[in-house]
Every structure is written in structure tokens, then in C-alpha cells.
Chain A
Amino acid sequence: MMHTAPIIEFDRVSKVYPSGGGPVTALHDVTLSIAAGEFIALIGPSGCGKSTLMRLIGDLEQPSAGTVRVKAKTPEQARRDRDYGIVFQAPVLYEWRTVRKNVELPLEIMGRPAEQRRERAMSLLRMVGLGDFAQAYPHQLSGGMQQRAAIARALSFSPSILLMDEPFGALDEITRERMQVELLSIWAESEPRPTVIFVTHSIPEAVFLADRVVVMSPRPGRVQRIVTIDLPRPRVFETREAPRFFSLVTEVREALRAVDNGR
């Protein structure tokens, strides 16, 4: 896959949290460059700083040292320019809004006209298979459907970067595998195709989805290894049964084990 100039750049970034037992280094000296349109999976054990890394990109937290550049801007400027869509582990839909109104929320805040909002929301809901549930309230939907609505909401304003923090972590394995296939097809259909930063602690999930898997190690959190995933796209259900898939899963697993041994 051809990649253009970097859209996200980490230059010797560290993040230190103050805590009762002295400062905790969540992220230490991370240098990383992500190309536009890339699908990046961040994987590692708890406390490796993968969520922190994602939140630094989204200006939900600020680095203690080093610089983060997003589209050659500060993360704060990028946030103000609405360059990010975010999906959390919980769907975080607003319960008083219908599914369609939830998807419209960012567009409403950005002052888009009602007709345009409605059309965009409906086309996204059809894309994620929720066309029939536009008028339903979130509590009437299953967990998987709620998360699909949350993805539609994040894509509604066509952000150039999609930040996903363990979005399928709360789903059962079967729903999860189906959602991974759906996410890839939604991603492929999106125009322009966003850069995705996907935090997970599932090895097969990371390998199945990503162009590159960033393996991180804890205490202090840093980048251990980057595994390039050369599985062809579009990736489908059968991709998980391919020998190359297994060898890549093994490669990531080995990298994670090296993390354990190095401790």
C-alpha cells in the first residue's frame, strides 16, 4: 500500500502522571509516524500507555515532554478544526436522542443545515445496517447496534482521523468478529478514507484490521515493535483462516512475549 506524507507525528513524547506514590510514567520517549489513510492498531498489556497515546493525538490529554503534530498542527488546533472522530469502549450515545439524532449531534454542533444533517445521518445509518432503527432510542438497541451507531456518529462529519479506544471490547466474540469485517468495509467506503488509530488488547483483532500493529510495553509505556501486516485487502471472514494470518498473529504474540520477558 502506498502511503503519503505523515498525518500524525510523535517526536520523543513522554507523559507523566502525578500520583500518590510518586509520578507514574505512562509514556516514555515515543517517536512514531503515521501516514494518512493508514489503519494503525495499538496493542499491549494494561498500563502500556496505548490509550494515553490515543488521547494525546486527540488533545484529550497533553504531553509532559516532546511534541505531537497532527496534520502539521498542534493536536489542540486539529481538535478545534474537528479533525477527529472518537469511538470509546462504551457507545456513549445520548439516551434522550433518537439514533438518528445521535448521529446528527456533531453536525448539529457544527451548524450544518437540518436537511443536510438528516441525509448524511440516514446514509450512514444505512451503511452500518441501522436504517430501520433511525427513530429508535439507544436503549432499544443491542450493544453491538449501539456501537455501530457510535461509529456512524464518529464518521458523520467525515473527520480525517478516527480514534477508536477498544470499541469492541465490551462485545461478545461472535459480534466482535462481525463488527471487525463491517468496520473495514465502512472504512473502505468512506470518502476520504480516514486514518484510524485503533486501541485493542486482542491480537487477532489487531492483525485482522491494521496495516501496522504497534506493540507497546508497560512501565514505562513505550513502543516495543511495529509489525507490518501485509494481508491483502479487502479482508474478509476467510482472511482469519489464512496461514499468513496465523504467522502474523504469532509474530505479534512473540513481540508481546518479548515485552513480558524484558520486564
Chain B
Amino acid sequence: MQATTVSRSVDVPARVSSWLRDVWPPLLTFVVVIALWEGAVRLFQIPLYLLPAPSQILETFLARPGYLLRIGLLTFTNALVGCAIGVTLGCLVAALCVRWRVVADGLVPLAVAASAVPIIALSPLMGIWLGSISPASKIAVVAVMTFFPTLVSVYRGLVSPRADALLLMRSYAAPQRVVFSHLRAPAALPFLFSALRVCATLSMIGAVVAEFFGGPQNALGVYIKTQAGILRTREAWAAILVACLYGLAFYVAVVLAERAAMPWKRGR
């Protein structure tokens, strides 16, 4: 008790300052890049249809934020559902791989290879199988995209405990179920979250790009494609901005969940 009180009172200001130290370099870089972009567009008088300035994109977004966020939400829902399916299946199959190593021997190298393949290329085929307008085909693309990296990462996490840690369980005569719940699963948690970080990004990309191959009119990918097709670049960029916002929100949610789920990693 005493130790935690002491460490807390010392850590809080230290933690805030270390957070600031972590945050300002990327923030500064972001501001500089945006300023350069804005400056270049104005200085070289780049035509609007080629590249609008950040201020114009923001203006376009602010003109009808409700509409853009709403169509974004539709796409984001596909991303979320697909990601949930892919990650859940990835975890389940990883657990099966630990129970039956034969499955792992056959599957894991394949999953590693599949992680390196542009699964997004499956989109048109998913459209044929599940209907190009229906959300099912988008969800399926995202599920397949997130399944493989989750499987690989979580499997590695589940088999990460060292021999001594497993011998300890053996000395307690712990049944396999307990070894899984008390050792393998918690050891895999950091691996799961690093997979989730990747999947958060991947799933938004997957959902938007899948819509390039067809989807309802009020979907973000379709909107970007149509607007770009008629050279309404500002509108396309504003929609891209919305995609970025959702993707970022997803990522931040994962990071927050990670911090909440793994208190022992804090303040390291």
C-alpha cells in the first residue's frame, strides 16, 4: 500500500511530462507538413482539381460535416464489424493452434504468408460472392484482412511463455485449462493489442477500398470514387479526411483499451 502511494505521487508529474515529451514531436511535424502543403498550394498556384489546400478541404468538410460523418459511420461500421469477426476468429484459431500443434505447423506459416499478401485484391471477388452493394462483402474483406495478422500475433503470444514459467505450472499440477487462462492468455495480451493496432488501421483501409468496387451511394468509398471521378477533388479530400478521423478514433480507442487492460505496462 505504502509503496503504491509513494510511487504514485512521484510518478504523476513525471508521467505528464513524459507524455508531453512523446506528443510534441509528431504534433510539430504534423503542423509543419500542413503549413508546407498550404504554402505550396498558394505559392505555386496549384489548380484545385489537382490538389486543394488543407484550408479548402477543412472548409468543404465544415460545410456539411453531418452528411460526411454519417456516410463515414456506415463505412466505419463495416470496418468495426469486419474487424471484430476477423480478430475473434484469429484468436480462436490461435488457441486451437496451441492445443493441437499439428494445426499450427500447417497453418501458421501460411498465415504469415497471407499477412504479406494484398488481401484487398479479393474485394471484387467478394462482391461476386456476397453481392457488391451489400455490406456483407465489405465486412468479409475486412474480416479476412484482420484475421491473418491476429492469428500470427496471438499465436506467438500464446507460445511466448518461457520453459521455466510452464514448469512452474507443471509443479502446481495445473490442468491445461488453467495453464491457458493463467499463463498463456495473459502472456498473449500484449501481442493481441499490437495486432489490434495494426487491424484498426487495416480495417478502415479495407472498408473504404472495398467500396471502390461497388457499394451503396451513401458510403464513403463510393463517395470518394464518384467525387474524384468528376474532379471534385475538394469533396473527395474532405471524405478522405473523414476516413482519417474514423481510422484515428479507432486507433486511439485501441490504445486506450490497451492501457486499461494492461495496468502493469503503465509507467514503464
Instruction: State A48–B88 Cα separation when bound (angstroms).
Output: 49
Chain A hits for B263, CB < 8 A: 137
Q: Does A187 contact B (CB under 8 A)?
A: no
In the complex, chain A residues 104-140 whose Cβ is within 8 Å of any chain B Cβ: 105-106, 108-110, 132-137, 139-140
Segment among A2-10, A80-88, A175-183, A191-199 that sits at the interface with chain B:
A80-88
Chain B: interface secondary structure? Answer: helix
Instruction: State A112–B186 Cα separation when bound (angstroms).
Output: 21
Query: B164 to nearest A CB, angstroms?
Result: 5
Q: Are B264 and A139 in contact (CB under 8 A)?
A: yes
Q: Are B264 and A60 in contact (CB under 8 A)?
A: no
Query: A73 to nearest B CB, angstroms?
Result: 13
Chain B hits for A137, CB < 8 A: 263-264
Chain B hits for A59, CB < 8 A: 170
Chain A: interface secondary structure? Answer: loop
Segment among B1-9, B32-40, B139-147 that sits at the interface with chain A:
B1-9
Query: A22 to nearest B CB, angstroms?
Result: 24
Chain B hits for A90, CB < 8 A: 162, 164
Q: Does A225 contact B (CB under 8 A)?
A: no
Segment among A36-44, A91-99, A205-213, A247-255 that sits at the interface with chain B:
A91-99
Q: Does B119 contact A (CB under 8 A)?
A: no
Q: Are A92 and B165 in contact (CB under 8 A)?
A: yes
Residue of B nearest to A82 (CB): B173
Q: Are A109 and B182 in contact (CB under 8 A)?
A: yes
Q: Does B21 contact A (CB under 8 A)?
A: no
Q: Are A106 and B172 in contact (CB under 8 A)?
A: yes
Residue of A96, A110, A132 near B189 (CB, 8 A) is A96
Residue of B nearest to A141 (CB): B3
Query: A108 to nearest B CB, angstroms?
Result: 8
Chain B hits for A108, CB < 8 A: 182
Q: A96-B264, A132-B2, A135-B3 are in contact. Are A82 and B172 (CB under 8 A)?
A: yes
Q: A86-B167, A94-B186 are in contact. Are A133 and B172 (CB under 8 A)?
A: no
Residue of A79, A133, A136, A140 near B171 (CB, 8 A) is A79
Q: Are B171 and A109 in contact (CB under 8 A)?
A: no
Query: A36 to nearest B CB, angstroms?
Result: 19
- Name B's A-contacting residues (CB within 8 A): 1-4, 7, 162, 164-165, 167-174, 178, 182-183, 186-187, 189, 262-264, 268
- Name A's B-contacting residues (CB within 8 A): 58-60, 79-80, 82, 84-86, 88, 90, 92, 94-98, 105-106, 108-110, 132-137, 139-140
